[in-house]
Amino acid sequence: MKINSTKQLEDWISRIEAFNPNEIELGLERVQKVANSLGLTKLNAKIIMIGGTNGKGSCVATLESLAAQSQLKVASYTSPHLRRFNERIKIDGQEVTDDLLVEHFKIIENSRQEIPLTFFEFTTLVALSIFSQQSLDLVILEIGLGGRLDAVNIVEPDVTIITTIDKDHESWLGVDKVSIAYEKSGICRTGKKNLIGDKTSYNLVLKARAKLEGVVSLVKEEALNPFSLEELNQSIDEPQTNCYQLLTQNILISFAAFNTLFAKSYECLDITEVVKNIRIEGRFQSVLNEPLTIVDVGHNTQAANNLKLQCSRVKSINKRIAICGMMADKAIVDVIGIMDDVIDCWYFVDLPIERAASASDLLDAHSSLKLDSLSFKSPSVSQAFQEIRGNSSKDDLVLVFGSFITVAEMLQYCDNNSQSL
């Protein structure tokens, strides 16, 4: 009797989730050894590697759209996922199948022998193994955390992108922005194009690594002919075209990276169609119309400032209500303080993960700020939304944000209740 491939995949994921990273010495030597044994570090495609604090997912999605409009075969590796593990590994924008994943989980397990790997190292090797057997024009690799010691960094990119640099994951990357810049700029390569999204981040990188002067470049200095910046901005500012309200900076840096590698294809692109066909979940994504319900994975102060701006642009709203669940190690007080400018009422929720702050902790953080907005707590995202929906107006805005887990819970609720919503 054939074992269900979905069940096999679930078993594999459970198995590697049990790997304890605290028992493994940090460094790229282990994952590099396994990759070398399979010839995975030199893929037969152009490679763009994307690091940074925020905006990585937006860049991946923009590059996928650029490739699709140019009829290039593209693969991407991202993390984390929202609903299914398969979201992490895509070919031409489509999630790979359970069968393909199981096949390559077995390949990596058989090849690693006794070499210990973390969850992310193992899954990175799975992605590279899949890509190595495809005929691809472009591979997009998103850094999971940091850069210098990230498993993705074993691959030699043709172009690197650093979107932004701000505080996040301080326990891993350092408590100050220069330390974080040092880790994130570890993906930059001499003799390659290395793009940075904003002047502040550019300065931080040079402060952290003075030797990168002349190696990295600020994206606004990149020529985007034949598209003018004005034309690009017109497409980005049009809500029907840029439905996720993606930032100009992230779209611009993606265009610049693509132009570096595929200049001839780039010249033939319809910029409006590229922006219109960007697809990304969890970034200012509308999931319901009445009341207007938007989900966003933003979970640090930089993302909160961007999200506040996006919310302020939504017009004809009666009341703005937030469902917020966050990890305990995030800048909770700062994020709540930033977002409160555009929130009238908060529902803080418990999340089904040990790392999460409790609803009570979030409520206490809100209370400590002595804000005028109302605040409540709820045992789950779904229960909070049900309560809100029962008491809200169709003209209200419900914003679900604070972590990938929070957004995943809301998306799952929508999936489970699609007939009644």
Whether 107 and 141 share a structural domain: yes
Q: 152: Cβ–Cβ under 8 A, 6 or more apart, which residues? A: 49, 77, 124, 141, 142, 143, 144, 187
Largest separation between any pair of C-alpha atoms in the chain: 62
Check residue 1 and give its pLDDT: 37
**What digits encode the pLDDT tens for the residues 317-336?**
899 999 999 999 999 999 99
Indicate which CATH number applies to the domain containing 165.
Answer: 3.40.1190.10
Whether 240 and 383 share a structural domain: no
Domain end (from 247, 276, 305): 276
Average pLDDT across the chain, whole number: 92
pLDDT surpassing 50 at residue 384: yes
Query: Residue 253 domain-assigned?
Result: yes
Check residue 237 and give its pLDDT: 87
**Closest C-alpha to 325, from 385, 400, 415, 413:** 400
Whether 371 and 395 share a structural domain: yes
Check residue 333 and give its pLDDT: 97
Check residue 224 and give its pLDDT: 65
Whether 59 and 168 share a structural domain: yes
pLDDT-derived band at 18, boundaries 50, 70, 90: confident
Share of the chain above pLDDT 90, in %: 78
Query: Residue 68 domain-assigned?
Result: yes
Query: Residue 49 domain-assigned?
Result: yes
The mean pLDDT value for 289-299 works out to: 94
The mean pLDDT value for 146-172 works out to: 88
Indicate which CATH number applies to the domain containing 366.
Answer: 3.90.190.20
Q: CA separation (Å) from 415 to 243, 404, 409?
A: 21, 16, 10
Query: Residue 210 domain-assigned?
Result: yes
Q: 95: Cβ–Cβ under 8 A, 6 or more apart, which residues? A: 84, 86, 87, 89
pLDDT surpassing 70 at residue 168: no
d(CA 154, CA 134): 19
The mean pLDDT value for 45-70 works out to: 96
Tokens 């640099």 sit on residue: 165
Specify the DSSP class assigned to residue 93: T
Reported pTM: 0.93
Angle between helices 98-112 and 29-38 (to 10 degrees): 110
Q: Please give the residue range of the domain that contains residue 122.
A: 5-276
Share of the chain above pLDDT 70, in %: 95
386, two tokens: 């049900």
CA gyration radius, the chain: 21
Whether 111 and 201 share a structural domain: yes
Whether 217 and 235 share a structural domain: yes
Whether 353 and 212 share a structural domain: no
Query: Residue 10 domain-assigned?
Result: yes
Least confident range of 154-163, 239-248, 288-297: 239-248
Whether 254 and 372 share a structural domain: no
The mean pLDDT value for 185-194 works out to: 96
pLDDT-derived band at 169, boundaries 50, 70, 90: low
Query: Residue 421 domain-assigned?
Result: no
Domain end (from 227, 249, 276): 276
Whether 329 and 272 share a structural domain: no
pLDDT-derived band at 36, boundaries 50, 70, 90: very high
d(CA 183, CA 268): 37
Specify the DSSP class assigned to residue 213: B
pLDDT surpassing 50 at residue 2: no
Q: 417: Cβ–Cβ under 8 A, 6 or more apart, which residues? A: none
Whether 35 and 162 share a structural domain: yes
Whether 350 and 406 share a structural domain: yes
Whether 186 and 311 share a structural domain: no
Domain end (from 276, 310, 337): 276
What total number of domains does the chain contain? Answer: 2
**What digits encode the pLDDT tens for the residues 225-258?**
656 677 788 888 888 899 888 988 999 999 999 9
Residue 211, classified by CB atoms within 10 Å of its CB into exposed (0-12), middle (13-18) or buried (19+), is exposed
Least confident range of 93-107, 160-174, 255-269, 372-386: 160-174
